[in-house]
Structure formats: C-alpha cells, structure tokens
A and B are shown apart, each in its own frame.
Chain A
Amino acid sequence: MADLLLIVRIDGERVALPAGDVESVVELEGLTPVPGVPRHVAGLSALRSRVLTVIDCVASLDPLRSIALVGDAVVVVVEGHPYALLVDAVEDVVEAEGEPGPVRTALTGGWSRVATGMIEAEGQLTLLVDIGVFISGPLARAA
C-alpha cells in the first residue's frame, strides 16, 4: 500500500506531512502563552487532559511573522512530547504516488530548511516536510 500523506496549507503553500507521524487533527481550544520561549512556540493548549506544546508553523519558517488565525492544528508526538502544529488549513489525506524524490529547485526562505523532498500526490507535485524541523524552529539549525 502506498504511503498516506496529510496535505496541509502552511503560509499559503500546499505541503505534505507523512500521515503515519500524525496522531490527529484538532481545533485548538484556548492557548496559554509561554513567556521566554522562541517565537515559533505559540504556547500551550490542553487536549483531553494532555498539555500540547503549540508550534506556529509560519513563525517556524520565518521568525518575523506569525500565523494569522489559531484554528486547525496537527497533533504529533515527537520524542515523547505531544505537539500541536498550527497550520493555515488541513486539506486532505491522500495516497502518495511513487517515492519521494529530491527537491529539484531552489527553495526560498525557511522552506529549504523544512523540506525533505518532493512527492507526487493526486497528480500534483507537493513538498514533503520534516515535522521535527518545524518543532525545533528557525534557531535550532544555526546553533
């Protein structure tokens, strides 16, 4: 069976996340800010008695900007910690067509950091992105 991909929209771009890494898609209820953290950490949110660390994917691409609206979030668990990735919109779950290939173009801005490859899905070429890089944020690589 082909790999399943979750198609989301981040900063206007249509990108694919490996669906196997995604626990669920939720709408966040409330956001508690965390003082003193990097800008891409939007805060904490409670989900079924769990505390999610909320990641602003737009800020993670470009630390000077942030997401327009707190709405759809993708819940993932990385290294035992639950996170909610804030995205513009969650579009669909699709089957990947073929294997991911290397990115054959020059990516702009933060995209070059998060992209792991390109993949064909539903007839469209989509950027496959690394959830972990979104979580560690723009400063992690530099350090």
Chain B
Amino acid sequence: MDDLIQDFISETREMLEALGGEVVAWEAAPDDRERLDAIFRFVHTVKGNCGFFDLPRLKGLSHAAEDALAEVRSGSRVADHRLVSAVLGVIDRIGELVQAIESGTALSDEDDDLLIAALLMRGESEEEPAAVPSAAAAARGAMRSIRLPIDLLDRMMNGVSDLVLARNELSRRLRDGAVAAEVDAVFDRLSVTIAEVRDSITRTRMQRIENLFAPLPRMVRDLAAETAKQVLLEMDGGDVELDREMIELIRDPLTHIIRNAMDHGIEKSDLRKRSGKPAAGSLRVSARQAGNQILIEIADDGRGIDGDALVRKAISTGLISDEQAARLSSAQKTELIFEAGLSTAKKVTAISGRGVGMDVVRTNIERIGGIVEVDSRLGEGVRFVLKVPLTLTIIPALTVCAGDQTFAIPRSSVEEIVRSRGQGIKIERIGGSSVVTLRGRRLPLVSLAATLGVAVQGAEGIITLLKVAGGGVYALEVDRVQDHEELVIKPAAPALMSTGLYAGTTLADDGKPVLLLDPAGIAIRAGISLERMEVEEPLLAGPSGRAEIQALLLRSLGGARRAVALSAVERIEEVPAEAVQRLAGRLHVLIGDRILPLEGCDGEIQDAKIKVLRLSDGVTQLGYGFAEVIDTVTIDSELVPPATPGEIGGVTLIGGEQIEVIDLHWLFAGHGATAVQAEQRPVCMLPAGDAWMETLLRPIIESAGYRVISSDDADAGTAEIVIVSDEAPVTPPGSAKIVRLRADPEPAGKSDTSIHRYDRAGLLGALGRGTRRKGG
C-alpha cells in the first residue's frame, strides 16, 4: 500500500508541476477551454485516485472543484475571477496535502471548508474569498532532488564510457613506455576516480523496478473487469534497481505476459471452483537481483500451457515433423509457445493472442541480452522468468581467441570452461561434426574459428559451454581464453548486426576493437538447432543424478572462498562500514531503512565499504558480509559435510578448487522464528541411508518448515509425512501421508501420483497438502 501511496504522491506532484503554467494561463484567460479541460482532468484524476486510498480531505476538495468546473464546462456557470481564485486555492491545498502525506506531517483542516465554500459562492458579491495561508512554499524547500532530462544522463553515460576506453588506451601506452612511479600513482588515482564516476552515473540511470510495476494493479483490475475474472495480484521486489532504458525495454514484454495470463491463463471463478482452486486467480509478479542479472518472474495459477495442443498446432503448421514432435520433452513442448504463429487460445480476443505474442516477447528480451524461461504445469499454472542484464552498456565478458583474432562472449552465457584435453572429456567426430561428452552430458561441439571462417592457429585448446535462450547448451571450441573483463559495449553497425553473429563492439585494453559474439547466432551459423542441442539430456539421470546448484562464489572477509546458493540471494548491496553495528550481542547491518542481522564477517572490515548479500528464505531476511564477488558457478560435485553443523555446510570442488559452501539453512535457523519452535514443526521422515535425499532433499524439506528425521531414528513413528523413492516398499508409521518420488520426469500413467524428484514446486505442494490435511 505504501508503494501505491508513493506512486499517487509522485503522480500528483508531477501533474501539479505540469499544471503550474496552465493555472496561471487560465487565470489570465478564463474562457480558454483547453486550459479549463486540463485543470478539470487534474482534479478529476485526483478525485479518482483518492478512491483507492482513505484520503477524505483530498477527495472532498477535488470533488468540490470538479463539480464547480463541470458546471463551467457545461456552460451553466461563468469562470469569473472569484471561481478561478477558489479553484487555485483548492489546487494549492491539494499540493500542500500531498506534501503533508509524504512528509508525514499533519495539516490543519479548518480551512478546507472555507475553500469549498468559496467554490460554491456565486454571483457578483464584492467580498473576496477568504485568503488562505499557504504552507507549501516552506515545506517544498525540504526536497533535495532535481529533475534532469534523460538525454543528458545518456550523454553523461556515453561520456563516461568513452572515458573508460580512453583510460584503457592510456594504460596501454603507459605499459609500453617506461614511466616514472609518480605517473603510475597519478594514473591509478585517475582510474579509481573514473571507476567511481562510472559507478555513480550508472546509478543515476538506475530506476526502481516499481516504476514498471506501478501500472500493473490498475491494468490487472481493468482486465479482470473486462474478462469477468477475479484476480489477486501480488507484487514483490519493487526496490530492485534496473537501468532505466532496460525498464522501458521490458515494459512491453511484461505487459504482454500479464495480459496473456489474465486472458488465457487464469480461468473464470466457476471453472476454478470446479477444479478445486480458490475462486480468485493468483498472479504474482516479482523481481530480484542475482549476480549481474535481474530476474523478473510472472507466475499465475491458471490452466497452464497445453504442451500437446502446441505440438499439434506446430505439426499442423509444418513447424516440426511428427517424428520431431515425438522426441520432444514436456519442457520443449511448452517452449513451443515462443514460436511464431503458435497460440493455443481457441479464441482471439482484444486483450491478447493473435499468434504474434510470445515470439515477439522472446525476441525483444533476447535483443537486450536477456533470456525468457517458461515453466508450466497443465491445470496448475505458468511461470515465466525474464532474465535480463543489469545494464546495456557495461557487461562482464570473457575474451577468447580464435585464429589471430580476439572475441568477447557475454559472461552471462558462459556456463563452464574446460580444457579440451582435460580429464573426463571426450571429443568424437561423427558425420563431419563433433560431439563432446563431459560428465555424462553430450553436447554439440562448434569450432569458433571454423564457424567464422578464421584460420586456425595451432590446436584449439579450450572449450566453453555456452547456454542460449530456451535452455539449450552447446560447446564452443576456441584457441584460448584470455581474460575476464568488464567491457563497455557499443552497438555495432547494421552491416555487422545483420550477420546475426555479433551483439556489439568494444575496445580491448590494447586499444584494438573486439567483437562481442552472440552465442545464439553462432549456434545458428554453425547449423545447430535447439533440438539437437538437447542431446544434453543427462545420461546419468537416476538415483545418482545430482542436481546442479547455481551458486555465487565469493571471498569472505577472512579470505576464504565460499559459495552460496544463488536462489537465496536477493541482491548484493554495498554499504559503508559504519552501517555494520553490534546490537544486542549480534552484528546487524543497516540497508536502506531496514536493519538486518548480519552473518559472515569472519574478518576485520578493512575498507570504508563492505559488500553485503541480502539473503532471503522467503520470510526472514539476513545480511551476509563478505569482501568480494568472484564469480557465479555451478555446484555439481559432491558436498563433503563438515564434522559439526555450522555456517559451512560442506566443502565441494569448483573448478578444481575446494570451496566452502554456506549452509543457508543453518544461517536462517539461527534467526527465524522457526528455530524456537523446532518441536512444534511437522515431522517428515526420509529413508535412512539415501544420500541423494539427505544432501539435496533434506534442505528443501527443512526450509519448508519440517523437522526431518530418518527412518531408523527412534522417533520414526511420529512422522506425518514419509518420503520414499520410486519402487521402495514402505510401511508408513500410523497415519502418515506418503509422498513418492520418481526419477522419470514424466508420470507413468494417469494413476501415477508420484512426483518427479526435481519437481520442487510439486514436492513443496505435496508437503503443504500433507500438513493442511492434518490441520483441517
């Protein structure tokens, strides 16, 4: 609600500012119809908006002014000097009230009636309306912000980008020639300053994503009315910041997805009730920052995407063959929603759907270097995730060599880098193309030099795994990897963009131009279709299959390398060291206006600033202080548990190094209310000795609020839920509910009520139902 009030305040203030001139002009020429209309629209809008909030004074004032102006508009009243003054008085008062709401101060209401009475006064009475003192001037002085034209910010950003490039060139020249140590020192200072300026300018371009979310409640309300549906909109993460330009580019795709959800996803109330859902549909829009990406999630609990219907349509339009269709996994079927011309909606409506839709959404998101993911469960809902980079202009990239040329690859699409002659890597040439097998995954292998037609120099030694839109992964073979760099990306000329191979250009440290590759374009040029990329179905699926966990690799204040699951990271903040304080025996950190318990911090804070991860388990928020982010990594090897449970949940291998993995559950257990009520938590039993369940499942179940016991524990009989794998025979203790997990992603048949072992949502749903049943 606070956010909405803020929006209302800023909207009203903007309107007031825009109206300033109109009011004065209207005073000079009361017959000016256009001005009159503008002022009428203003009071009308304010009155309308007040309806959403409990703001009786504003409503009374704007209502009275609207009535008076309506009479003028209909010609039944003349806009005489008296009326103009009265209206001006009301507009000023609206401004003061808005100011008062924002600053939280009280404003005496004794004059309101006078103002309204002045509006009602008619005839040529000589008496001037009561002069109302204005408090606005004083209060406005408190605002410490200015408005800037956006193109000025853009020019500043461009200037800074050039500055960074010029610095890089200077650095190269300095390296070439011997220079005095003082020059180096000055240059270092220059570099630091430029970095700071770049930082702050980047921040001026950042906007809270709530600007994007603000119009959604209204839109959803209107759409709900139009489609006669009930929808509950939930929004979260409005304080995530994103490049202003990015926000504009996401606006349309986001709107489109929401319209689709409202129109095709969420069912009418009676239908929902029949299928056992709450009458009102739920639509959740949330944003969070993960590393250098912003994740925007749009989830509904509607009817879901009918993958098979999409397949039928795709076959009938000739997009895929019967044979191809037969090989599609359910995720791939759902992904067909992004193909041009495929809309499963039976009816085309004004709100959405003409088959030009999701394909455009995907194109637009990919154009800005983002990815759209979809996850649908028929009858249960759809979840779209838009992953977009933080900013368009500076991106972390990997520079690689092919032949004698250097290219850059966006870091966001690099999944892993391996040596082609490394251990456990097998490269096979078949039918003129290559396939690489790596830890049981088979991926098509593309030579960058061959694809681009660059002469290969020596043997290609490095393979990078690149993921592209739609979840496809392929391997790209390059001569060598040079560096990780933050590159200032400039748009490439149309002749370059039209090749589809490049996403932009940049300058390397040595002053030479470097092309930024478009991983998806390279795959297309190499002739790899998404379908064939999916050779990468895990061959090791089965009981020993391991889930891959995306994690953030960081260096702690004490210098240790640690990984934390990315899913729990809401965002990374940088706060001044003073923001960290010991309160009530524990470290706390002040971020914005929130005080969070602070973990991590295993060493002295040496700099003036400290980086803090904002971790969330959905309810509780924690800060985790650390020194620096190293990378984002995938944890896929086994976790070696520590001797005693604690902050470190285990040690794992990442890129050949031992990394401590932070035990999020332990961290949150120490802070949330859940820890106190350990004994009151429902009990879930896992089969003893199942390593997969113990390492992967247990944390999920525990984070869902369960106390987990093992089947050979003494208190096994107290379990309310028993989780078993596929075929294991089981005798549940007492009245416990059994949740059966299967290894196969697809159910064996209609009567198969088991849940796929990696279907987290389904699993949590089953856990939820289990306890509800007990409670009710």
A residues at B contact (CB < 8 Å):
30, 32-38, 41, 44-46, 48-51, 53, 79-81, 83, 135-137
Contacts and interface: CB of A to CB of B under 8 A. Distances in A.
B306 interface: no
A33 B502 CA distance: 13
B162 A36 contact: no
Interface string B155-185: 0000000100110110000000000000000
A30 B512 contact: yes
A51 B372 CA distance: 31
Contact of B505 (A30, A35, A44): A44
B497 to A, nearest CB: 10
A27 to B, nearest CB: 16
Contacts of A30: 512
A37 B490 contact: no
A51 B405 contact: no
7 nearest A-B pairs in the assembled complex, by CB-CB distance: A49-B165, A35-B452, A44-B513, A53-B493, A81-B493, A51-B505, A49-B166
Contact of B405 (A32, A49, A80, A137): A32
A51 B506 contact: yes
A32 B516 CA distance: 13
27 contacts: A32-B513, A32-B514, A34-B496, A34-B502, A34-B515, A35-B452, A35-B453, A35-B454, A35-B501, A36-B499, A36-B501, A36-B525, A37-B495, A37-B499, A46-B507, A46-B511, A49-B162, A49-B166, A49-B507, A50-B162, A51-B505, A51-B506, A51-B507, A81-B493, A136-B494, A136-B495, A137-B495
Given A38-B495, A45-B513, A81-B491, A33 B165 contact: no
B512 A33 contact: no
Interface in B115-134: none
A49 B160 CA distance: 11
Interface in B378-392: none
Given A44-B515, A81-B492, 15 more contacts: A32-B405, A32-B513, A32-B514, A36-B453, A36-B525, A37-B499, A45-B513, A48-B166, A49-B162, A49-B168, A50-B165, A50-B490, A51-B506, A53-B496, A81-B491
Given A32-B512, A44-B513, A49 B496 contact: no
Task: Say what secondary structure dominates the interface of chain B.
Answer: mixed
Interface in B476-525: 490-496, 499, 501-502, 505-507, 511-515, 525
Contacts of B512: 30, 32, 46
Nearest to B402: A35
A51 B490 contact: yes
Contacts of A83: 493
Contacts of A51: 490, 505-507, 513
A136 B168 CA distance: 31
A57 to B, nearest CB: 14
Most buried by B among A49, A50, A137: A49
Interface size class of B (residues with CB under 8 A): 20 to 34
Contacts of A32: 405, 512-515
A50 B166 CA distance: 9
Contacts of A135: 493, 495
Contacts of B405: 32-33, 35
A36 B452 contact: yes
A35 B499 CA distance: 9
B282 to A, nearest CB: 44
A34 B497 CA distance: 11
Task: Say what secondary structure dominates the interface of chain A.
Answer: mixed
Given A49-B166, A51-B490, A51-B507, A37 B513 contact: no
Nearest to B504: A51
Contacts of B507: 46, 49, 51
Contacts of A36: 452-453, 499, 501, 525
Nearest to B500: A36
A36 B490 CA distance: 19
Nearest to B454: A35
A5 to B, nearest CB: 25
A44 B490 CA distance: 13
A50 B514 CA distance: 11
Contacts of A37: 495-496, 499
Contacts of B162: 49-50
A57 B514 CA distance: 23
A131 to B, nearest CB: 13
B404 to A, nearest CB: 10
B539 to A, nearest CB: 34
Nearest to A36: B499
Most buried by A among B165, B452, B490, B515: B515
A129 to B, nearest CB: 18
A35 B450 CA distance: 10
Contacts of A46: 169, 507, 511-513
Nearest to B169: A49
Interface in B384-410: 405
Interface string B445-483: 000000011100000000000000000000000000000
Contacts of B452: 35-36
Nearest to B167: A49
B494 A81 contact: yes
A45 B453 CA distance: 20
Nearest to A81: B493
A48 B495 CA distance: 22
Interface in B507-564: 507, 511-515, 525
Nearest to A45: B513
A137 B495 CA distance: 9
A30 B512 CA distance: 8
B191 to A, nearest CB: 15
B667 to A, nearest CB: 45
A102 B165 CA distance: 45
Contacts of A35: 405, 452-454, 501
Nearest to A44: B513
Contacts of B491: 80-81
A136 B494 CA distance: 9
Contacts of A49: 162, 165-166, 168-169, 507
B485 to A, nearest CB: 15
Contacts of A44: 505, 513, 515
Contacts of A81: 491-494
B135 to A, nearest CB: 48
Contact of A41 (B168, B496, B513, B514): B496
A35 B405 CA distance: 10
Nearest to B522: A36
Contacts of B492: 53, 81
Nearest to A82: B493
B733 to A, nearest CB: 66
Nearest to B168: A49
B41 to A, nearest CB: 37
A44 B511 CA distance: 12
A35 B522 CA distance: 12
Contacts of A136: 494-495
Most buried by B among A33, A34, A35, A44: A35
B402 to A, nearest CB: 9
A143 to B, nearest CB: 10
A74 B499 CA distance: 24
A139 to B, nearest CB: 10
Contacts of B454: 35
B495 to A, nearest CB: 5
A53 B506 contact: no
A81 B525 CA distance: 25
Nearest to A137: B495
Contacts of A41: 493, 495-496
